């Protein structure tokens, strides 16, 4: 009969695909669309049953798949969808229940057999929908250049060759990246951003330091190579790690979102330490000139542009969060005898300075978000 055709429809297919690839809000949108437009295709007598089954199965799929980080969760979603479909189909008589309890029925075993087959069909379609979506995801991600939380979880493997290089060649930077990942993940969860993107991008945000690891304080021993360089040259080496990181990421075919974070995590902020050191050196030279011990033509020119990162500023919430976590983790290393109050003051100072400098203007973080992130 025509009601059997309704039992074969994969009600949750579109909602599951949209929810995984584009988020829960578009998953709900897909539920409404397929339910309403599907009503135009089914026989008039079965319209209400189809609408109820489609809506409830779709909403169930979207709800079960929130924070999807394992492919097995798709099969679990299919299991729940199948169970809901069986219950709703029975409620709206798409699967006939009344003959099972009708005393006038002669072939009661045949009725139970038909009932069991119908339930098995509906439940199997739900489970198979989850399996099909699991198989389609890699293809759809490649076609539309999307990355699901499942793929981000796979990218978080610390055995990636770049991360293994960092463990050996720049262990200080590797530890710094792990701490930034934990900080940014917690902040992202607090404001509803994508915590998995924050974690993975934090692992790779400083891979450019592999080019000259010894010039970064977290990898230095007793000797500091910057002591033999001018502040301008030191700043150029520090700033270059962004470009070097982007080059490494492109060569190793990392996800485009990771490349964006590498490019944006410093924005166009100032390398303040070496800029201040250059100003101090110029002040010392000016004092010598005033005393007649120096030549005014030998005074170094200090251009602030030479001490700023190339940018752009963070343009996503995740990039902005990583930018703040990176700055906080680096600055906190210099605290002497850290206390809760010292750390709180440091975090507030860094966030407010970034805000005043315009580094967070394009990332979409609100004042409420920044309070929670702090």
Q: Which of 29, 247, 228, 18 is nearest to 133 (CA)?
A: 18
pLDDT at 106: 54
Residue 3 has a pLDDT of 65
**Residue listed under structure tokens 């020119």:** 301
Quote the crossing angle between the two packed helices 72-91 and 13-22, to the nearest 10°: 140
pLDDT (0 to 100) of residue 79: 93
Q: Looking at residue 318, what is its pLDDT?
A: 96
Cα 204 from Cα 174, distance rounded (Å) = 9
Quickly list DSSP for 171-204: HHHHHHHHHHHHHHHHHHHHHTS-HHHHHHHHHH
Distance, in Å, from the CA atom of 197 to the CA atom of 182, rounded to the nearest integer, reads 12
- Residues, the chain: 374
Inter-CA distances, 192 with 67, 165, 255, 258, Å: 11, 32, 22, 19
| H-assigned helices in 192-316 | 195-204, 231-251, 256-264, 272-290
What SS3 class is residue 365?
A: coil
Based on C-alpha coordinates, what's the Rg of the chain? 30
In the prediction, which pLDDT does 118 show?
A: 87
The predicted pLDDT at position 250 comes to 96
pLDDT digits (tens, 9 = 90+) for 159-192: 999 999 999 999 999 999 999 999 999 999 999 9
CB atoms within 10 A of CB 35: 22
pLDDT score for 7: 84
CA pair distance 254, 247, nearest whole angstrom: 10
Taking only the tens place, the pLDDT of each residue in 353-368 is: 999 999 999 999 999 9
When the pLDDT of each residue in the chain is averaged and rounded to a whole number, the result is: 89
The pLDDT assigned to 256 comes to 93
- Element housing 207 (H / E): none
Q: How many C-beta atoms lie closer than 10 Å to residue 319's C-beta?
A: 30
pLDDT confidence tier of residue 323, bands split at 50, 70 and 90: very high
Give the Cβ contact number of residue 34 at 10 Å.
21
Q: What pLDDT is recorded for position 297?
A: 65
Q: What are phi and psi of 170, to 5 degrees?
A: -140, 65
Evaluate if residue 337 carries a pLDDT over 80. yes
Residue whose token pair is 């293994």: 164
**Rounded-to-integer distance, Cα 324 and Cα 337, Å:** 22
Q: How confident is the model at residue 4 (pLDDT cuts 50, 70, 90)?
A: confident
d(CA 240, CA 180): 20
Alpha carbon distance 185, 178 (integer Å):
11
Q: Determine the Cα–Cα distance for residues 121 and 126; give it in Å rounded to an integer.
A: 9
Quickly list H helices, the chain: 2-7, 13-22, 24-38, 47-64, 72-91, 108-144, 149-155, 161-169, 171-191, 195-204, 231-251, 256-264, 272-290, 317-332, 340-356, 367-373
The neighbour count for residue 291, using CB atoms within 10 Å, is 8
Judged against a pLDDT cut of 70, whether residue 235 lies above it is answered with: yes
DSSP conformation class of 23: -
End-to-end CA distance of the chain: 62
Question: What pLDDT, in 10s, does the model give residues 100-145?
Answer: 666 555 566 777 788 888 899 999 999 999 999 988 988 998 898 8
CA 82/CA 302 separation, integer angstroms:
69
What are the pLDDT digits (tens) for 259-306? 999 999 999 999 988 988 888 888 877 777 777 766 666 666 788 888
Binned at pLDDT 50, 70 and 90, residue 1 comes out as low
Q: How far apart are CA 45 and CA 47, in angstroms?
A: 6
Give yes or no for residue 221 having a pLDDT over 90.
no
Mean pLDDT of the 52-61 span? 93
* Nearest residue to 242 via CA among 311, 143, 192: 311
Token digits for 54?
A: 């489609």
**pLDDT reported for residue 350:** 94
């Amino acid at each position: 009969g025509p009601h059997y055709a309704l039992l074969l429809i994969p009600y949750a297919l579109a909602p599951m695909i949209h929810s995984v690839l584009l988020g829960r809000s578009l998953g709900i949108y897909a539920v409404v669309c397929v339910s309403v437009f599907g009503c135009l295709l089914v026989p008039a007598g079965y319209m209400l049953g189809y609408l109820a089954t489609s809506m409830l199965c779709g909403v169930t799929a979207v709800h079960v798949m929130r924070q999807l980080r394992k492919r097995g969760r798709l099969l679990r979603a299919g299991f729940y969808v199948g169970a809901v479909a069986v219950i709703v189909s029975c409620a709206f008589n798409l699967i006939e229940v009344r003959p099972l309890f009708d005393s006038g029925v002669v072939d009661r075993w045949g009725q139970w057999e038909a009932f069991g087959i119908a339930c098995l069909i509906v439940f199997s379609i739900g489970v198979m929908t989850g399996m099909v979506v699991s198989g389609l995801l890699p293809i759809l991600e490649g076609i539309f250049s999307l990355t699901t939380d499942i793929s981000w979880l796979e990218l978080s493997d610390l055995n990636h060759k770049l991360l293994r290089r960092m463990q050996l060649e720049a262990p200080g930077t590797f530890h710094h990246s792990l701490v930034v990942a934990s900080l940014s993940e917690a902040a992202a969860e607090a404001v509803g951003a994508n915590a998995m993107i924050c974690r993975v991008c934090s692992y790779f945000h400083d891979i450019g330091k592999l080019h000259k690891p010894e010039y970064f304080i977290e990898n230095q021993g007793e000797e500091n190579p910057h002591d033999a360089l001018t502040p301008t040259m030191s700043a150029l080496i520090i700033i270059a790690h962004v470009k070097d990181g982007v080059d490494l990421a492109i060569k190793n075919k990392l996800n485009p979102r990771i490349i964006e974070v590498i490019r944006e995590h410093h924005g166009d902020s100032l390398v303040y330490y070496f800029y201040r050191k250059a100003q101090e050196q110029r002040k010392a030279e000016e004092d010598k000139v005033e005393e007649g011990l120096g030549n005014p033509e030998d005074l170094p020119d200090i251009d602030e542009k030479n001490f700023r990162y190339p940018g752009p500023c963070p343009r996503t919430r995740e990039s902005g969060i990583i930018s703040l976590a990176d700055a906080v983790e680096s600055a906190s290393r210099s605290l002497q005898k850290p206390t809760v109050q010292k750390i709180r003051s440091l975090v507030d100072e860094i966030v407010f300075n970034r805000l005043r400098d315009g580094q967070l203007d394009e990332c979409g973080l609100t004042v409420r978000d920044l309070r929670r992130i702090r």
